Each structure stands twice: as C-alpha cells, then as structure tokens.
Amino acid sequence: MSIDSQTEGLDQLQHLPIVADYLKKFQTVVDQLDTTAIGHAVEVLRAARERGSLIFFAGNGGSAATATHLANDLSKATLRSGRRPMRVLSLSDNVSWLTALANDEGYDRVFEGQLVNLSTPGDVLVVISASGNSANLVRAVEFAGTHGMHTIGLLGFDGGCLLDAVNTPIWTQTDKGEYGVVETAHSLVGDLLTTCLIQDIAG
C-alpha cells in the first residue's frame, strides 16, 4: 500500500493549528529565557574546566537523554576552543550502577549514590527536570550543597522545589505538563552553553 493511498482523505491541514500553537509556546519560552543566568552558568562551567573539576549531569526520562547529549557535547565539541578538556559525566549513563542503586537503596538514591563515590569539593552538578520535583535530583542537589559543589538547574513548569535549591537556576517557565516545550528549550540552553564554551578560544 502506497503512502498516498494510506493518507487519502486525510485533511493534512488539520494539524497546522497544533504546529502553530506549539511554535507560539516555544517562542514565548525563548523570549523569556534568562540570558544572565545562562551567562552565569557558562562562567561556572568555564571555571570548573580551568581547575580540572568534574561536571556531572543528571536527569530522568527525556531529561536523561538531554543529560547524555550535553555531557557528550561539553566533552568533545569544546575541545575546539583550544583550552583544556572538560571533565564531564552523565549520571544517567551507567545503567548497571544506576539499577543496582535503585534495586538496593531505592530510586531516590541513584544519583546521590554515585556522587558519594565520584565527587569532590569544587565539582559542579547540573540537574535537568521539567517539574523540578524529582526526588532523586533533590537528594543529589542536597548532597552537592553539603559537599562543596555548585549546582545548576535546567527547570520547567513552576520550577518546583529545585528552583530555590540550586545555586544557578535556568527556569523555562511554562504551564505544568508542557514537557515537549520544556525539553526542547533545555536542549537549546545546552547548545547555548556549549557554543559559548567552544568560542572561548585560548589566547
């Protein structure tokens, strides 16, 4: 069966209002991005690179994929700056360790448990959460706060409890449940952070 025959009779224009509404919401989010907060986050990450500190990313679901993406970009793409390599880890990527912690100690401990082993004062933790209320991210931020780490939050909706818990919030303010718009915006913020650090060319 051809594609044409499968879509015969389907009014393809019926989807245009959905597309237009999504783009309108996303444009509103872009217009409201706190560029000062993004700039501060760049400086935090830049300083961590210069002193050789580790930068950790953590998220759940779609935000875990964003964490992996940003860890990859900051590790590899920023080498073009000519500065020292960035030391970056996504805490969502070690499936064996993550599931062992979840099975033995509870899912709330899957990120905090890794930080116990890997982190040192001066490191940076970047948490990514649409709701800002994920219990495992809250615990990771609490641990970071008592162990000399700087915390950055890519947040959505109303910011959740992480809005006031992290040192540097980058808040994508939307209605609750707007996961698609928030996650797309978080990817954009990640690209902005990476681009700034790529263009921080060694003199």
Query: What's the mean pLDDT in 139-155?
Result: 98
Residue 2 has pLDDT above 70, yes or no: no
Asked if 152 and 21 touch (Cβ cutoff 8 Å), the reply is no
Classify strands 124-129 and 87-90 as parallel, antiparallel or unpaired: unpaired
41-77: string of b/e by CB count within 10 Å (b at 16+)? bbebbbebbeeebbbbbbbbebbbbbbebbbebbbee
Query: What's the mean pLDDT in 174-185?
Result: 95
Q: What is the Cα–Cα distance from 176 to 21, expressed in whole angstroms?
A: 16
Kindly report the CATH number assigned to the domain that includes residue 115.
Answer: 3.40.50.10490
Positive or negative: CA dihedral 157, 26, 24, 35? positive
- In-domain check, residue 1: no
Query: What's the mean pLDDT in 179-196?
Result: 97
- Going by pLDDT thresholds of 50, 70 and 90, the confidence category of residue 203 is confident
| Tally of domains within the chain | 1
3-state secondary structure of 2: coil
Asked if 38 and 193 touch (Cβ cutoff 8 Å), the reply is yes
Asked if 149 and 124 touch (Cβ cutoff 8 Å), the reply is yes
- In-domain check, residue 99: yes
- Average pLDDT of the chain is 94
- In-domain check, residue 163: yes
- Going by pLDDT thresholds of 50, 70 and 90, the confidence category of residue 36 is very high
- In-domain check, residue 8: no
Chain centre distance of CA 179: 13
Place of tokens 């690179």: 49
pLDDT one-digit tens code per residue, 122-136:
999 999 999 999 999
- Going by pLDDT thresholds of 50, 70 and 90, the confidence category of residue 13 is confident
pLDDT one-digit tens code per residue, 75-91:
999 999 999 999 999 99
Write out the residue range of the structural domain in which residue 59 sits: 14-198
Residue 8 has pLDDT above 90, yes or no: no
Residue 138 has pLDDT above 80, yes or no: yes
Q: What is the Cα–Cα distance from 143 to 118, expressed in whole angstroms?
A: 12
Residues in the chain: 203
**Residue type, position 4, single letter:** D
| Number of C-beta neighbours around residue 101 at 10 A | 21
- In-domain check, residue 7: no
- In-domain check, residue 149: yes
- In-domain check, residue 139: yes
- Going by pLDDT thresholds of 50, 70 and 90, the confidence category of residue 10 is low
- In-domain check, residue 47: yes
Query: What's the mean pLDDT in 96-113?
Result: 98
| DSSP 8-state symbol, 1 | -
